[in-house]
Structure 1
Amino acid sequence: MFGDHLRYQLCLEKKWFVSFIDDHTRLSWVYLLRDKFEVKDIFRSFYTMVEIQFQEKIRIFRSDNGREYFNEILGDFFLEKGIVHQRSCLDSPQQNGIAERKNRHLLEVTRALLFTNNVPKYLWGEALLTTIYLINRMPSKVLNFQSLPSVFDATFPTSRLTNNLPLRVFGCGAFIHLPDQTRGKLDPRARKCVFVGYAPNQKGYKCYDPSTKKMFVTMDVTFFESQFFFHSHIQGGEVK
Structure 2
Amino acid sequence: MIAQHKRKVDDHENAQIWDARLGHISKDRIRRLVDTKGLEIDDLDHLPTCESCLKGKMIKKPFVGQSAIAKGLLDLVHTDVYGPLSIPARGGFSYFITFTDDHSRYGYVYLMRYKSKAFGRFKEYRLEVENQTNRKIKALRSDRGSEYLSGEFIDYLKENEILSQWIPPGTPQLNGVAERRNRTLLDMVRSMMSFTELLPSFWGHVLETAVKLLNISPSKSIPQTPYEIWHGKPASYKYLRVWGSPTNVKRLVGDKLDSRSSLCRFVGYPKETT
Query: What is residue 232 of structure 2 aligned with on the other side?
Result: 154
Question: Structure 1 residue 200 and structure 2 residue 271: aligned?
Answer: yes
Q: 1:171 aligns with which of 216, 226, 244?
A: 244
Query: What is residue 208 of structure 1 aligned with on the other side?
Result: none
Question: Structure 1 residue 89 and structure 2 residue 168: aligned?
Answer: yes
Query: What is residue 49 of structure 1 aligned with on the other side?
Result: 128
Query: What is residue 190 of structure 2 aligned with on the other side?
Result: 111
Equivalents in 1 of 2:203, 2:179: separation in Å?
19
Residue 79 of structure 1, CA deviation: 1.2
Query: What is residue 151 of structure 2 aligned with on the other side?
Result: 72
Query: What is residue 235 of structure 1 aligned with on the other side?
Result: none
Residue 149 of structure 1, CA deviation: 2.8
Question: Structure 1 residue 101 and structure 2 residue 180: aligned?
Answer: yes
Residue 36 of structure 1, CA deviation: 1.9
Structure 2 length normalisation: TM-score?
0.66
Residue 177 of structure 1, CA deviation: 1.1
- 1:161-185 CA-to-partner distances (Å, cap 9, x unmatched) read x776611001111111111xx3222
Report the 3-state secondary structure (helix = DSSP H, G, I; strand = E; otherwise coil) of the residue aligned with 1:198.
Answer: coil
Query: What is residue 60 of structure 1 aligned with on the other side?
Result: 139
Query: What is residue 217 of structure 1 aligned with on the other side?
Result: none
Residue 10 of structure 1, CA deviation: 2.6
Residue 108 of structure 1, CA deviation: 0.8
Residue 119 of structure 1, CA deviation: 3.1
Report the 3-state secondary structure (helix = DSSP H, G, I; strand = E; otherwise coil) of the residue aligned with 2:169.
Answer: coil
Higher relative contact order (CA 8 A, sep 6+): 2
Equivalents in 1 of 2:183, 2:217: separation in Å?
17
Gaps of 5+ in 1: 205-240
Query: What is residue 5 of structure 2 aligned with on the other side?
Result: none
- In structure 2, relative to structure 1, the CA distance for the partners of 1:168 and 1:40 (3 Å cut) is same
Q: 2:208 aligns with which of 117, 129, 132?
A: 129
Equivalents in 1 of 2:228, 2:140: separation in Å?
26
Q: 1:32 aligns with which of 87, 111, 125?
A: 111
Tell whether the 8 Å contact from 1:8 to 1:123 is kept in structure 2 after alignment.
Answer: no
Residue 72 of structure 1, CA deviation: 2.2
Question: Where does 1:12-31 land on structure 2 (aligned, <5 Å)?
Answer: 12-31=91-110
- 1:16-39 CA-to-partner distances (Å, cap 9, x unmatched) read 100001111111100111222222
Question: Structure 1 residue 3 and structure 2 residue 83: aligned?
Answer: yes
Residue 88 of structure 1, CA deviation: 1.2
Tell whether the 8 Å contact from 1:2 to 1:16 is kept in structure 2 after alignment.
Answer: yes
> Match of 1:148, as an amino acid?
P
Report the 3-state secondary structure (helix = DSSP H, G, I; strand = E; otherwise coil) of the residue aligned with 2:125.
Answer: helix
Tell whether the 8 Å contact from 2:104 to 2:230 is kept in structure 1 after alignment.
Answer: no
Between the two proteins, the alignment pairs up a number of residues equal to 194
Report the 3-state secondary structure (helix = DSSP H, G, I; strand = E; otherwise coil) of the residue aligned with 2:267.
Answer: strand
- In structure 2, relative to structure 1, the CA distance for the partners of 1:165 and 1:4 (3 Å cut) is farther
Tell whether the 8 Å contact from 1:175 to 1:190 is kept in structure 2 after alignment.
Answer: yes
Instruction: Flag the structure with higher strand content.
Output: 1
> Match of 2:104, as an amino acid?
T
Residue 124 of structure 1, CA deviation: 0.7
- In structure 2, relative to structure 1, the CA distance for the partners of 1:163 and 1:17 (3 Å cut) is farther
- In structure 2, relative to structure 1, the CA distance for the partners of 1:89 and 1:139 (3 Å cut) is same
Provide the identity percentage: 33
> Match of 1:154, as an amino acid?
G
Tell whether the 8 Å contact from 2:104 to 2:229 is kept in structure 1 after alignment.
Answer: no
Equivalents in 1 of 2:128, 2:180: separation in Å?
25
Structure 1 length normalisation: TM-score?
0.74
* Structure 1 vs Structure 2 CA RMSD: 2.1
Tell whether the 8 Å contact from 2:144 to 2:169 is kept in structure 1 after alignment.
Answer: yes
Tell whether the 8 Å contact from 2:209 to 2:268 is kept in structure 1 after alignment.
Answer: yes
> Match of 1:196, as an amino acid?
V
